[in-house]
A and B are shown apart, each in its own frame.
Chain A
Amino acid sequence: MTVALLIGSMLALAMLGIPLVFAILGSALLTILVYRPTLPLELLPQFFVSGVNHYALLAVAFFFLAGELMNAGGITQRLVNFAQSLVGHIRGSLAHVNIATSMMFACVSGSAAAGAAVVGGVLIKPMVRNGYSPAFAGAITSAASVIGPIIPPSIPMIIYAVLMEQSVSRLFLAGLAPGFLVGLSLMVVAYAISGRRGYPVGEPFSVKRVIESGKRAVIALLAPILILVGILGGFFTATEAGAMAVGYSFFVGMFVLKELTWPGFYRALIRAAVGTATVLVVVGASTVVAWIVADLQVSKAVADMIFRISSQPWAVLAMIMVFLLIIGLFLDAMAALIIMTPILAPIAISVGIDPVHFGVIMIVNLLIGLCTPPVGILLYMSAAIAETPPEGVIKEVIPFVFVLIGVLALCTFVPGVVLTLPNLIYGAS
């Protein structure tokens, strides 16, 4: 009953269009007033502030800012040229370039929306000029942008790590293989569709061009290598790595590529601050809910419902994954992650699922919701850039969504895909 009141009122308020931060706080307040009326309401601001005030969360702002600076500093075009030299010769040339650029950009940025705006902004127009339908160009941009928060760095993974007291580095590493898998399987589908429609082939492959464009892109690609080596080698924490990425992208944009300006830097700081706050106030509000969930043993009530059907780990995972896919249709990925993690992760862990494995598949799952209607922000962003109605993009994205679900199923039921790399580096947890 508590579950119904808490989640029901939250969804009802959210559906009325109330900002999520207030919808979540409102449902928390209602639940406290009904079930624990003696509790002091000071716990609302108390958990709101303590939920935000985590050192690891600083990395959210840092990776936000690093992405903004990389983009303002003229790095994107270099990545596109490098991707073109690598995969441009395959049939469906620019579609593959789009996916490969998204993968490289994912190594710098941790947000899907940033990827769609940046990569879509550079590649959708040339795709349409080269004979790809605007709807297809939009669809491939939406699907490829999902890779952004799967390949490290990743803002949702930082948030999950904080909520579940897991290691950010371990989660980052766990996202690497699934991210590449998503990219490669999207390329396979793009290839099949391009063959059928006769989409163009680019210039033939040349090692010389790869080296030339690679040299120009290396300055951008050095950033993720610096981040990964720094974290893995234990030289600095994920938070410090974020600050290093900011310092690096500032230096490169300002003094090496000379495309970053002081006003651009100022705007990037403000955009990163405001973007971070948008996510973090929801984290703060959800921390109140997480406390109530623990206090009223909501997770246990949900677990009982699930275990009544089955308590086999694979069946529990399958049920949670289907449930999350449905939630992802209606809720923004970040909001869903913050609200559902304290309820669902303990259930998965109680049947023996590795918390890092669960975090990665939960994030991949909810990200798929970003390119499904009705609340798929990436679809609408890409459609807007391609200047085409979203309906067409929605139709074109269907095969890609099925592939994404396929990769999700693989990562869910073959934990090795996710866990091999972090276990290799850090030892089994």
Chain B
Amino acid sequence: MIEPIAKWGERALDAVLAAILLAIVLITLAQVLWRYVIGASFTWSEEVNLMLWAWLIALAAIKAQHLRIGLVVSKLPAEWQVALYAFRCVFSLVMLAILGWFGWKMVELTSFDFHVELNWLSRKWLFMSICAATIPWGIVVLARTYLTITALRQDPGDKTGLLPMTEH
């Protein structure tokens, strides 16, 4: 039941990420082309690109394997590792909640703060990107912790593939 939803979710996320990055590349290329071929430049391209960029990073962070040091942990006995994984998970969720909560406050604070060129586009949408990302990001953190702990409980000996030294 959960697996197909997760798979579908990841596919949808992938498609959005690819589309945003492609759009950023195309806008930047078009900007260079316009400057040399037509002799004029877009004034809006930088603002659009930076808005897309904020969303690209926030959304891609949901599925990224985040940089961390796994060294000390992988040497510990399995029960300790389970406890540490649980602590990590709770810590990450608390930080995400803080980012999301105060991110929302920033959305409220900047809702009447408009861009210069795109004067209909509020800067609140920049901060909306983290708010939107924190909940699915938190779900991924929970799911990964659950899977890792289950795997550790089943076979404490085999940690290959689950616990690389540093995740990249």
Interface residues of chain A, those whose CB is within 8 Å of chain B, are: 13-23, 25-26, 29, 41-42, 44-46, 48-49, 52-53, 55, 57-58, 61-62, 65, 113, 235-236, 239-240, 242-244, 246-247, 266, 269-270, 272-282, 284, 330-332, 334-335, 374-375, 377, 380
- Contact check, A65 vs B92: say whether CB atoms are below 8 A apart: no
Cα(A282)–Cα(B65), bound, Å: 12
A-side contacts of B59, CB under 8 Å:
277
With both beta carbons as reference points, the residue of chain B lying nearest to A230 in the complex is identified as B32
Cα(A16)–Cα(B74), bound, Å: 10
Binds A, one of B83-91, B114-122, B150-158: B83-91
B-side contacts of A16, CB under 8 Å:
72-73, 84, 87-88
- Contact check, A22 vs B56: say whether CB atoms are below 8 A apart: no
With both beta carbons as reference points, the residue of chain A lying nearest to B73 in the complex is identified as A17
Q: Knowing A21-B67, A377-B168 touch, does A277 contact B98 (C-beta < 8 A)?
A: no
Cα(A276)–Cα(B20), bound, Å: 13
Q: Knowing A277-B64, A282-B67 touch, does A65 contact B91 (C-beta < 8 A)?
A: no
- Contact check, B25 vs A25: say whether CB atoms are below 8 A apart: no
Q: Indicate whether B46 reaches chain A with its CB closer than 8 angstroms.
A: yes
Q: Indicate whether B130 reaches chain A with its CB closer than 8 angstroms.
A: yes
- Contact check, B99 vs A375: say whether CB atoms are below 8 A apart: no
- Contact check, A240 vs B57: say whether CB atoms are below 8 A apart: no
A-facing residues in B25-51 (Cβ within 8 Å): 25, 28-29, 31-32, 36, 46, 49-50
Cα(A17)–Cα(B32), bound, Å: 43
B-side contacts of A48, CB under 8 Å:
99, 130
Q: Knowing A278-B66, A375-B166 touch, does A42 contact B53 (C-beta < 8 A)?
A: no
- Contact check, B69 vs A49: say whether CB atoms are below 8 A apart: no
- Contact check, B32 vs A240: say whether CB atoms are below 8 A apart: yes
A-facing residues in B49-103 (Cβ within 8 Å): 49-50, 53-54, 56-61, 63-73, 84, 87-88, 91-92, 95-96, 98-99, 102-103
- Contact check, B65 vs A278: say whether CB atoms are below 8 A apart: yes
Q: Indicate whether B21 reaches chain A with its CB closer than 8 angstroms.
A: yes
Cα(A243)–Cα(B30), bound, Å: 10
B-side contacts of A45, CB under 8 Å:
99, 102-103, 105-106, 127, 130
Interface residues of chain B, those whose CB is within 8 Å of chain A, are: 14, 17-18, 20-22, 24-25, 28-29, 31-32, 36, 46, 49-50, 53-54, 56-61, 63-73, 84, 87-88, 91-92, 95-96, 98-99, 102-103, 105-106, 109, 126-127, 129-130, 164-166, 168
- Contact check, A18 vs B99: say whether CB atoms are below 8 A apart: no
Cα(A368)–Cα(B91), bound, Å: 31
- Contact check, B32 vs A280: say whether CB atoms are below 8 A apart: no
Q: Which of A16, A236, A275, A330 has the most CB of B within 10 A?
A: A16
Contact partner of B28 (CB less than 8 A), chosen from A14, A58, A113, is A58
- Contact check, A375 vs B71: say whether CB atoms are below 8 A apart: yes
With both beta carbons as reference points, the residue of chain A lying nearest to B96 in the complex is identified as A22
Known contacts A20-B67, A45-B130; can you find 12 more A-B pairs with CB under 8 A? A17-B88, A19-B88, A20-B66, A25-B95, A29-B95, A45-B106, A46-B127, A55-B46, A58-B53, A269-B22, A275-B64, A277-B59
Contact partner of B57 (CB less than 8 A), chosen from A62, A244, A280, A332, is A280
With both beta carbons as reference points, the residue of chain B lying nearest to A55 in the complex is identified as B46
Contact partner of B56 (CB less than 8 A), chosen from A42, A61, A242, A246, is A61
A-side contacts of B58, CB under 8 Å:
277
Q: Knowing A52-B53, A243-B25 touch, does A44 contact B18 (C-beta < 8 A)?
A: no
